[in-house]
Amino acid sequence: KNPDRNGGSNPTNTNSDSGVSAVSCAHARIEGGTIAGFGDAGVYPGGDNTTGATGDGSVTEIVGTYFYRCNVGVTPKRELEYLLVEGCKFEECVAGIVAAEVSPYVAPARKMDIRGNRFKKCKANIARYRGITTGSFSDNIVEDWGYDHTGATSAGGNAIALLAYGTSN
């Protein structure tokens, strides 16, 4: 079971990087708990950091976890082989689940299945599939999308709920 993690009350807090880092883990499972206020990612899963790697078989499952005011709830990188995010709640995060590469060398997660989650008052990118990333986005609830809880700016043109950026299949 996942214990609570708190990086602070501000998702842009530069003093709080990531709540949980599961890089090059054969199989990581995060279940329950609250992950709040991290300036990079609430959870940062990834494969290895080798160019052209296959993610070294790394799998991460995140189940029933509450993400609150993180910059990004989950950022899968480094060709993570598989990510499952199920039954989680993301509230007042700048973004929900964002596949990203370690530029310019290592590609993003290979497969993401995002299902049965609730995204409430997130600003942009509820889910972003990028480059080689495939997978599914199903049975999720999105409420008050494009919301900026800091009041600093409108989400405006950056408020793309589901983004498939350079992906195929």
Per-residue tens of pLDDT for the chain, all 169 residues: 666 777 766 555 555 678 888 888 889 999 999 999 888 899 999 877 665 555 567 899 999 999 998 889 999 988 888 999 999 999 999 899 999 887 666 788 889 999 999 999 888 889 999 888 889 999 999 998 887 776 656 666 657 788 887 655 5
Q: Taking the CA atoms of 115, 142, 168 and 52 in sequence, report the sign of the dihedral they define.
A: negative
DSSP 8-class letter at 102: B
DSSP 8-class letter at 56: G
Q: What is d(CA 72, CA 166) in angstroms, rounded to the nearest whole number? A: 20
Confidence at residue 13, expressed as pLDDT on a 0 to 100 scale: 58
Q: Please state the pTM of the whole predicted model.
A: 0.88
Q: Chain centroid to CA 121: how far?
A: 15
Q: What is d(CA 73, CA 44) in angstroms, rounded to the nearest whole number? A: 9
Q: In sequence order, which residues have a C-beta less than 8 Å from that of residue 46 and are 6 or more positions away?
A: 22, 23, 24, 55, 58, 76, 77, 78, 79, 80, 102, 109
Q: Taking the CA atoms of 84, 166, 126 and 34 in sequence, report the sign of the dihedral they define.
A: positive
H helices, E strands: number in the chain: 0, 17
AA identity, residue 122? C
User: Taking a C-beta distance cutoff of 8 angstroms, is the pair 127, 96 a contact?
Assistant: yes
Confidence at residue 144, expressed as pLDDT on a 0 to 100 scale: 84
